[in-house]
Structure 1
Amino acid sequence: MSEEQRPRTERVGPGGDPYPPAQGAPEGGGGDGRLEEVTLDCGWGRLVFGNTFRDPSDAADVLRSEADGARDICVYLDDPHVLVARRHDELFIDPSHTYRLALPAGLGGRLASLEVRELRDEADADAVNRMYTANGMITAPVEVLVANSGRPEFLHLVAEHVPTGAVVGTITGVDHVAVFGDPEGGTSLWCLTVDMNAAPPGTGQALLTELAERFAARGRRFVDLSVLADNAGAIRLYERLGFERIPSLFVKRKNPINEDLFVGPKVHGLDVLNPYARIIADEARRRGVAVEVIDAEWGEMRLTHGGRRHVMRESLSDLTTAIAMSRCDDKRITRRVLADAGLRVPRGVTAGGGEEDEVFLREVGRLVVKPARGEQGAGITVGVETPRALRVAVEAARRHCPDVLLEEYCEGMDLRVIVIDKQVVAAAVRRPATIVGDGRKDIRALIEAQSRRRQAATGGESRIPLDAATEEVVRAAGHSLTDVLPAGEALEVRRTANLHTGGTIHDVTAELHPDIAAACVAASEAIDIPVTGLDLLVPDPSGSEHVFIEANERPGLANHEPQPTVERYLDLLFPGTRGVPRRWVPAEAQGDGGEEP
């Protein structure tokens, strides 16, 4: 049929093992002589003939075995809406109309400049694949196309432009009698497309005419085709040629090729969302969850599925209570809640601005000074060792929050652990922004170049500030911003590993020690929060030693791919959509060739 496109007719036995090829001869258990459980491998995917399956769920199981990068289609299934309703997490009704042309039919439309003939060789198959590619369709292995053309199940035609010898159009017919012994004597057409730059007007109709006449000569009674419901041009063409719409619906699997067909209409404001909100919106739409962007710049959305509705800002949803959010918002409260739960935190006090601050500095030897409330690493000074540096750091923190936390400095890697619904989903070590010398550029230029790369890689979410904190780190390493680093020498230019100030993230989920994982789950329970990003300092994520330093109520889920953070988040919000396969890498959708010239 016009919008779709490995060849082999096969009956699928128990467990999905194929029976020997049917060779078109009626046999098997069908009372009318039809073969049972028939699929036809076409190269771009399989046609699953639903009318040959006694149990529709068996046809669905065949669709589930679809190969990566292929598009399988279940055709002529009785009550397809019932099957899809029961398996809506993985199947959908194709938004196409089915049209039928009674045979014989006088279509006319032959062109003197065209020879419409059967596909013969690899050169023809290469030309067909070029047209498929140009029209956004799925290609098929050349050897499969050539083998198909010699089988009775297929009628694969090409249109050759006589003056140039170029193949400028193609159409594939499937003979249902040869495939499964169809008692209705039907056929169908697929993959009608032309070279839009080289085909003369009327090429599509010439291909249709030849296909219909050849099937009529076999004694077949009709030709069916499928066309997307919004392809008005192609529908006008088929109706003008005498095709009539019939009430037949086809079923497809929710895969990346089909994604545009089942995620619904374009959502206003979707393209404005930052990466942390967009990844959630994309996963929701793939699952059939309706997305409404309330405030794109803020990242606020409303998601609806059935009777459930949630409002969220990125990973912060209405499931997080105000109490839980306040426990994360004030780092002093976070420390107290975690310490009361028996979890490890560094020693810390609230800065008073007097002698007591210096006393605490002398007791612990080295401090981290941070605003009690704030995010993205703003106002934090790491490694304070002198009273003067302490006063400067406290003043810097107070520019962001009047309350300042003094915390014992602990050596270790900066570890972020994502806990969703009391389960550890991802863990990553975050490293401070680092530049590498090339022996030519000075440190300032290297920082600017690295900052541009980080901005480009994160959609503008990450950059390295050229501020006093960066200059101080460079100076502490014995350099100035005008120094030229030797080639290959690495230099950290920030104390903190925050992603928003140019830090990088490295997945360690598989290495995480079970004691740390258990402590993180306990921390989420103590805070009573459904989604959190916990920050810890660890000598080694594969060891058990750790201290907690922060809890975040709105962690960036996009930072942890390929770990399934966004999938588990949607599972939490909409448990009825669980079981949908993991997110896929986007792939081009199969087109229907549009209106034929």
Structure 2
Amino acid sequence: MAKERTSEQRAHAGRTDKALGYRLKRLRSESMKPPITHVEDGESEMRSSVAIDCGWGRVLFAQTFPDNHSLVEALAREGEDRRDIAFYVRDPHVLLTLAPQETFLDPSHTYRLDLSTYRPGRRRTKSYFIRRLTSEIDAEAVNNIYAARGMVSVRPEFFWANRDSRSITYFVAEDTTSGDVIGTVTGIDHQRLFNDPERGASLWCLAVDPQSRHPGIGEMLVRRLAEHFQARGAAFLDLSVMHDNEQAIALYEKLGFRRVPIFAVKRKNSINEKLFAGQVDGYDALNPYARIIVDEARRRGVQVEVTDAEGGFFRLVYGGRAVHCRESLSEMTSGVAVSICDDKAVTRRVVERAGLTVPEQVDADDAAAVAALLEKHGSLVVKPARGEQGRGVSVGLSRKDDVDSAIAGARSVCDRVLIESCFAGEDLRLIVIDYKLVAAAVRRPPRVVGNGQDNIRTLIESQSRRRAAATAGESTIPIDDETLRCLAGQSCTLETVPDTGREIVVRKTANLHTGGSIHDVTGIVHPRLVDAACRAARAIKIPVVGVDFMVKAPTEPDYVFIEANERPGLANHEPQPTAERFIDLLFPHSMPDALQWDGMRARTDE
């Protein structure tokens, strides 16, 4: 297979004399053209060549530009690692002929809500509320949601600097109980921006925390923005949505949006590459854990060949070197290291010899030892010696009958079952790549929030659907014996209707595949925990690993080792650069020059 070229290489190879002539003409005329207008609030006359910076890039309002030439020139001034959008392009087929190697027609649909006929929804929620962005903490939370959704990041100070803008409006959804920001939307007021004679407005960057347990956040954000612009006297609210985003389109159509023939044009850059470049065969069938690595590889110009999409296998080629991977497991991890991680009893012995704190453990076949361990600790963990994704794991068992039942369930996963003392606290996953910490996150068990109407079964099924949609089917909440045991401990059943706002933990295990949520703590994790995770990786001799601890808190040094995962899900840890560090490990020469130098200097310092 021929090596796949980067977008820059394709553009360079495909440039015609006509395109080069146009670029020279454009450069010669640069000083003759009026600059792009970055509009200040309060100006009332109709403006021309309007482009507004939104942090992730600029929105260029094509109807304000005098001609297509000036619009193409404006797009050419896109900032590094930004994503500009030329919106309301009147004749994209003509514009694209001016710079065919640099621009492309965005494969998105435009939808419009007529605000003269829009009626506010009656639904209200007590679990969260919508408000304006008001602090730098809000800005950081919004940026984290963008990262979790694979969107272009924004400097938090940008949000804060524009918090009082009359042209841009930022709304956030705040969880009533925790105070966490769980959703965001941005609106642009065209009247205040450039005195739009059509009195329009537009919606951008609707994003909801994929791990939020509350329903309807996206709908409430859209409604709040629509009502905001309706009160300002706007005639309509427009938005651009990817043509294949069926879930979002269904929401917009439910709210009364209708598709209109309006187009957008973007530049060919690394961020947009998957929108205009030929797709890798099998890419769509990859799960999120493989896809995040493939996306980063393609961004670096690394050739990708999907060898088995269903299993998550792909081959990466760069500089004449090929590495076969299954998600984050690559040929750089030895078979011995995989074997150590595969057997939890072996893993425990290896890291214990390296000085890590481990829980007391016995084999489930030794009934006397199990009884003694239960009497000594009062609470136990049952898990199969081999297995992944939390299958067969039961936590916090304090009765012999529950232990026996959990052992029977674990045997369906693996014949050999282990019993451990239960350490009360939080489940901490640390991602170690090249024996350095890259990400740390607390994983919390799935829980539902009562609304005073639905029973627990319905709440679980509703949240499970949202989790599946947010993770491409990778995370759902099973209803099984473990779920029933957990509910019984709270005097609940599946038919219980919890009061509004009451939180019900539906499983004690925090594994993401069984509906758990993950919360980044990389910036606050205690150095002793980092050191222990790196020592575990070195003891196993594994270059990429997810190390699991139970901790009192991520900011405290106390822990017990639980297990090591040889194929950790890197997609779970955004905004931390897990995929970037993984490709750095495999192909260090694909790093930007500055990063390569920093890496060499770090190795020299060690």
TM-score greater than 0.5 by the shorter chain: yes
Which has the higher Rg, Structure 1 or Structure 2? 1
Partners of 2:521 and 2:51 in 1: how far apart? 42
Is the 1:417–1:426 Cα contact (8 Å) retained in structure 2? yes
Q: Secondary structure at the match of 2:523?
A: helix
Q: C-alpha separation between the residues in 2 aligned to 1:494 and 1:478?
A: 14
Matches within 5 A, 1:16-165: 94-100=12-18, 125=48, 140=60, 158=67
In 1, are the aligned partners of 2:482 and 2:507 still within 8 Å (CA)? yes
Q: Distance in 2 between matches of 1:522 and 1:289?
A: 31
- Alignment gaps of 5+ in structure 1: 1-84, 104-117, 131-136, 146-156, 159-169, 176-190, 209-224, 232-251, 583-597
- Structure showing greater relative contact order (alpha-carbon pairs closer than 8 Å, 6 or more residues apart): 1
1:327 equivalenced with 2:200 (yes/no): no
Within 5 Å, which residues of 2 pair with 1:66-465? Answer: 94-100=12-18, 125=48, 140=60, 158=67, 170-172=68-70, 195-196=90-91, 227-228=100-101, 255-257=270-272, 265-465=278-478
Q: What displacement does 1:572 show?
A: 0.3
The 1:579–1:409 alpha-carbon spacing in structure 2 relative to 1, beyond 3 Å, is same
For the Cα contact (< 8 Å) 2:447–2:503, is it kept in 1? yes
The alpha-carbon distance between structure 1 residues 423 and 144, as it changes in their structure 2 partners (threshold 3 A), is farther
Q: Name the CA distance, whole Å, in 2 between partners of 1:483 and 1:230.
A: 56
Supply the distance in 1 between the matched residues of 2:409 and 2:509 (Cα, whole angstroms): 15
Q: Which amino acid is 1:295 matched to? A: D
Kept in 1, the 8 Å contact 2:19–2:99? The answer is no
How far is 1:463 from its partner? 0.5
User: What stretches of structure 1 move > 4 A for 4+ residues in a row?
Assistant: 88-93, 100-103, 118-124, 137-145, 172-175, 252-255, 257-261
**Structure 2 equivalent of residue 51 of structure 1:** none
1:315 and 1:195 mapped to 2: Cα distance?
45
Tell me, yes or no, if the aligned pair for 2:362 and 2:369 is still in contact at 8 Å. no
Residues 142, 388 of structure 1: alpha-carbon distance in 2 compared, 3 angstrom cutoff: closer
Structure 1 distance, partners of 2:89, 2:333, is 55
> Are 1:489 and 2:506 an aligned pair?
no
- When normalised by structure 1's length, the TM-score is 0.60
Q: Tell me how far apart the structure 1 counterparts of residues 19 and 408 of structure 2 sit (CA, whole Å).
A: 81
* Counterpart Cα distance in 1 of 2:11 and 2:558: 53
- Once the two structures are superposed, residues 121-164 of structure 1 have per-residue CA deviations (whole angstroms, 9 ceiling, x without a partner) of 986846x989xxxxxx986479996xxxxxxxxxxx64xxxxxx
Deviation string, structure 1 residues 535-578 (Cα, Å, up to 9, x no partner)? 10000101111111010000000000000000000000101111
The gaps in structure 2 that reach 5 residues or longer are 22-32, 38-44, 74-85, 105-266, 596-606
Normalized per residue, the structure richer in helix is 2
| C-alpha spacing 1:173/1:253, structure 2 compared with 1 (3 Å) | closer
The 1:312/1:580 distance shift into structure 2, 3 A limit, reads farther
Structure 1 window deviating more from structure 2 (380-389 vs 276-285): it is 380-389
Given candidates 565, 569, 590, the residue that maps to 1:556 is 569
The amino acid across from 1:256 in the alignment is I
The question of whether the paired residues in 2 share the 8 Å contact of 1:473 and 1:494 is answered with yes
Q: How many positions carry a matched residue from both structures?
A: 393
Question: How many Å apart are 1:305 and its aligned residue?
Answer: 0.4
Letter in 2 for 1:394: I
Percent of aligned pairs with the same residue?
46
Counterpart AA for 1:493: V
Q: Secondary structure at the match of 1:171?
A: helix
CA distance in 2, matches of 1:174, 1:420: 42
State how far apart, in whole Å, the 2-side matches of 1:397 and 1:446 are: 27
- CA displacement at 1:230 relative to structure 2: 12
Residue 350 of structure 2: SS of its match in structure 1?
Answer: helix
Name the Cα RMSD after superposition: 3.8
Q: How far does residue 384 in structure 1 lie from its aligned partner after superposition?
A: 2.0
2:101 maps to amino acid? L
Native 8 Å contact 1:430 1:506 kept in 2: yes
**Contact between 2:7 and 2:270, CA under 8 Å: does it hold in 1?**
no
Task: Kindly provide the CA deviation profile for residues 87-133 of structure 1, in whole angstroms up to 9, marking residues without a partner as x.
Answer: x9998853432334999xxxxxxxxxxxxxx999986846x989xxx
Deviation per residue, 1:318-371 (Å, 9 max, x gap)? 111111001111100010001011111101112225333212322332210110
TM-score, scaled relative to structure 2: 0.59
Task: Provide the residue aligned with 1:543 in structure 2.
Answer: 556
CA distance in 1, matches of 2:90, 2:319: 44
